[in-house]
Structures are given as C-alpha cells and as structure tokens.
Chain A
Amino acid sequence: MRVAIVGAGSVGRAVLAQAPRRGHKVVAVADSRGAAVDPTGLDAAQVLAEKEASGQVGAAEADALFDAPYDVLVEATPTTLGSAEPAFEHIQRALGADRDVVLANKGPVAERYADLRALVDRSAGRVRFEATVAGAIPVMATIAAYGPTEVTGVRGVLNGTANFILSRMAAESLAYDHVLAEAQELGVAEADPSFDVEGTDAALKCVILANVLSDDDQVYQLADAAITGIDAIPTSAHQAARDAGMTIRLIGEVGRDGVRVGPRLLATDDPLAVTGTENIVRLEIADAGPMHLAGRGAGGPETAAAVLADIDRLDT
C-alpha cells in the first residue's frame, strides 16, 4: 500500500524506516512544520537525515501530505484529549477522501469513538488501531479473532513506566522519588511523568478496549474511567505486600463495573505481576477462559510494528 504518515516522532519515523521491508511504499511524511512528498516513494534515510538536521521532514507545506496519492494514512501525532485534535481532523480528511486510516494516536478512539464511527459509516475507508493499546501486543486482533461479544473482560498492565517504578520499588525497597529519577535517566519516564504515573495513559487504553467490547453500543471516554495512580504508594505499602506474599501493580480493568485503573495486590506468581516495562493483558474469553498476551507495550519500533501489521490487514 501507499502510506502517508502524519507525525514524525519516534513512532512515525519507525513506520517510515520499517515500511519498505514490509512491502509498503511511504509517499508522504508530515510533521508540525513541513512535509516530504514523493509519489514514487520516499527515501527513508534521506527524510530521517533531513529531520535530524533541520528539525522538519521536508520543505513542503505540512498540508501537502493530503494531496499525495496515498492509500492509507498513519496518524502518529501526539495523543491529545477532549477534541482529540488535530488528529481527528486528519482522520476526517482521509476518510472524507475514502482513504484508510491506521491510528497510533489514542485520542480519537478514546475520546470521540462515536464521532469516529460516524465518519467510518459515511466513508469507503476503514480505520484500524491495534497500535493504540499495548504497543506490539495484538490485543485488538485477538479480540477480533473471537469476536468482541465473546470477550467478557480484560485486565492488565498497560503502562510500562508505572510498572517499572512499582516493580523496582517492590524489589529493592527504594523510595518513589529515587526510582522515578532512575526511570527518567533510563528514558523510561518523561520529564513530566504525570500522564503515566497518574494512570491516565493506562486509562485511555482501557477506555479504547471498553469501546471495542461494548455490546450495547455504549460509548466511553476518559471521564468514565475511575483512576488511581501510583504516586502516593510508599515503601511501607510494598513491604506490607511482600510480607503477605504479594506485590503491587497498576492494573487496568474493563468489565461489568466499567473502566477502572488502580494499584492492586497480586500474588507474586500471578502472570499479571510482570516486571520492568513489560505489558501484559489477560482476556476473559467465553469458552476459552483466561488468556494472557505479554510483550512490549511501547517504543517507536514496537508501536510501528503494530501499525504495519494493521496496514497488512488492510492490504487485501
């Protein structure tokens, strides 16, 4: 397929780099400042070098991307809440022109699911969003394999930053501030880690899952999630857990009681008690019972792998 990528952060750049090996041609890339367009296919190395050198992917107007002859738009701009702009407008333009869309951006699926479905209904284009939940882990594909009505619940560790901090505090009895600083040095936590440690990121992913699994067409948004973060859990709590043979992890849940993200006590041998930045999802499937999917939930190349898997699925 011919791919247009909007957003040249770590995910967008990784899609650009991986696409040729996966048999797809990138015809346009845009960041906030400009665009690079070539209907015959861009030279990934050249575009990446240009971005590195000048801070933008190309000299053309960013808008020029939408005039390029693309089949599928990859939306990889930073996730925004509420109106989910400018991502929603990008999707609107692509679907308005009957093109397909693959999302890495969580905003539209979490905050404007009903509006998104309305756009899809009016368009010949299709939308996929595997990359929005648990990075490379094929949660959406597994749900689709059985059918959303067969999946009665989901629980999991969906944020690697929070999990890294909790598992380090549990293992070494270190203070929160110490482990957070360690995480920031390793690039596992941002300078402003609130999105991750307050549980917002995990909640967005759970809201997306709730929208997909909802069988009465109920639509969820971030505001519907009950969220408790990890920034107020002291070492005394980790020690108390350890003495009881348990451990604390930030768990996102989607089920009968809605969407909930919060720190929970797990047995130390519970499969959900992953360590480091790993993610894991437990699906409850009607006849198959509990099923675990684990792997890397974040990172440019990892998320891009999921984007390209979606492009492959559209390429029928």
Chain B
Amino acid sequence: MADADVQAYTIRLELADEPGQLLAALEPIADAGGNLLSIFHERGNITPRGRIPVVVDLECPPERFPPLVDRVRAAGVNIVEAGADRLAETVRILITGPGVAADLDEIVETAHAGAAWTLIGMEVRTPSGPEAAATVVLELIVPDGDLVGVRRALATGLPDSAVIVEPLEVGDS
C-alpha cells in the first residue's frame, strides 16, 4: 500500500488468558486488510479482571479502520481503545542512576503497575563497565499527554536514587 493511503493506528485489547485468544484478535485484523506493525503482549502482566493487555500497532487505509475494529469485536475480543491519535501519545522515559541494577524488580513492577499509562515496551541497557550504571527504557502510551502526572507516579513507586529522564512534551518522542 502506498504510504499516502495508509494511517497508523493503535488498538488496545484485553484478552482472556486462554489458548487461541491472540490469534482470534490478529486474524480479523489481517483479513480486514490491516498491516501489523508491532504487538506488545506480555503474559505476566494481568489486569485486575484477570485479562492480558495487548497493544497492537497497525497500518491501514483510514476507511478500512472502523470495519476492522468491528471485525475484531465480532470475533469476541475485548477492545479497550482504538484510534489513530494514540501513537502521538507514545513517549520514551529513561530510568537510570546508581541503583538501577539492584532495584530492577521494583522498577519493573512500578512500570507495569501504572494506572496513568499503558506500558508498551521496556528495555534494559546494560552498563558500559563494572563501575557504571544501567538504564531502563520505558515506552509508554500516555493518555491526555499528562507527563507531569506520569513522572509523579513513577517517582512515588521508584527508589529515591532513581533518576527519571523524560521528554519536555509528549510530542517530543
């Protein structure tokens, strides 16, 4: 498909923890002409209702998006949110400082537990030498672009020695 004809979209799903759920969600997307760009699916990350959040980035012509969403719903998959503007709210935040390696569990837990954001990616950058510190890179979808709120929530959950480096504005990432 020519670039000018397609638009990028993000769909947030909540899947039941049963075999075949992910396939049931992705098949209608492909059948409806959506081009999958990325899928973030982490079985360890369960919502309060016992479901597994999945974030799908896809490309399709704008007129095909609403019927695509309908198809996914018709397959019995729960869509939490679907839209084009979500990608603009994706931000990268770094968490670094001397205690990162030692506090990794706490950092991972805080990153997953956020109500003010959806975690769509995480990466640990190892230090360059024995004395050096590691850096965790979080990729988040931030509703309303409220970076100040995200930072505050992260700071509350993280150890005091953690240094949070976030962009100036949501659109910067």
Q: Say whether, besides A263-B163, A263-B165, A264-B167, A232 and B148 are in contact (CB < 8 Å).
A: no
Residues of B within 8 A of A244 (CB): 92, 137, 173
B134 is contacted by which of A236, A267, A270 (Cβ under 8 Å)? Answer: A236
Residues of B within 8 A of A237 (CB): 94, 96, 125, 133, 135, 163, 165
Q: Tell me if A234 is interfacial: C-beta within 8 Å of chain B.
A: yes
B133 is contacted by which of A234, A257, A270, A272 (Cβ under 8 Å)? Answer: A234
B94 is contacted by which of A173, A240, A253, A266 (Cβ under 8 Å)? Answer: A240
Q: Is the CB of B98 within 8 A of A232?
A: yes
Give the distance to chain A from B27, nearest Cβ to Cβ, in Å: 32
Cα–Cα, bound, A234→B135 (Å):
8
B127 is contacted by which of A228, A236, A265, A270 (Cβ under 8 Å)? Answer: A236
Give the distance to chain A from B38, nearest Cβ to Cβ, in Å: 15
Residues of B within 8 A of A272 (CB): 168
**Chain B 93-134 residues near chain A, CB threshold 8 A:** 93-94, 96-98, 123, 125-129, 132-134
Cα–Cα, bound, A240→B137 (Å):
7
Give the distance to chain B from A89, nearest Cβ to Cβ, in Å: 38
Count class of interface residues, chain A: 20 to 34
B96 is contacted by which of A155, A175, A233 (Cβ under 8 Å)? Answer: A233
Least CB separation from A174: chain B residue: B128
Residues of B within 8 A of A232 (CB): 96-98, 133, 161, 163
Q: Is the CB of B166 within 8 A of A264?
A: yes
Q: Is the CB of B128 within 8 A of A265?
A: no
**Chain B 143-173 residues near chain A, CB threshold 8 A:** 148, 161, 163-168, 172-173
Mark contacts of A237-262 with chain B using CB atoms, 8 A cut-off: 1 yes-contact digit, 0 otherwise: 10111001010100101000100001
Number of A-B contacts (CB under 8 A): 89
Q: Is the CB of A175 within 8 A of B129?
A: yes
**Chain B 29-65 residues near chain A, CB threshold 8 A:** none
Give the distance to chain A from B134, nearest Cβ to Cβ, in Å: 6
Residues of A within 8 A of B168 (CB): 155, 251, 253, 264-266, 270, 272
Give the distance to chain A from B72, nearest Cβ to Cβ, in Å: 30
Q: Is the CB of B172 within 8 A of A233?
A: no
Q: Tell me if A18 is interfacial: C-beta within 8 Å of chain B.
A: no
Cα–Cα, bound, A241→B133 (Å):
15
Mark contacts of A58-96 with chain B using CB atoms, 8 A cut-off: 1 yes-contact digit, 0 otherwise: 000000000000000000000000000000000000000
Q: Max chain B CB contacts within 10 Å: which of A240, A248, A251, A270?
A: A240
A residues in contact (CB < 8 Å) with B: 155, 173, 175, 228, 232-237, 239-241, 244, 246, 248, 251, 253, 257, 262-267, 270, 272
Given A240-B125, A246-B167, A248-B165, 17 other A-B contacts at CB below 8 A? A175-B128, A175-B132, A232-B96, A233-B165, A234-B128, A234-B134, A234-B135, A235-B132, A236-B127, A236-B128, A236-B132, A236-B135, A237-B133, A239-B128, A253-B168, A265-B167, A270-B172
B residues in contact (CB < 8 Å) with A: 92-94, 96-98, 123, 125-129, 132-135, 137, 148, 161, 163-168, 172-173
A-B contact pairs, 16 of them (CB 8 A): A175-B129, A228-B163, A232-B97, A234-B133, A236-B128, A236-B135, A237-B94, A237-B165, A239-B135, A257-B148, A263-B165, A265-B168, A265-B172, A265-B173, A267-B172, A270-B168
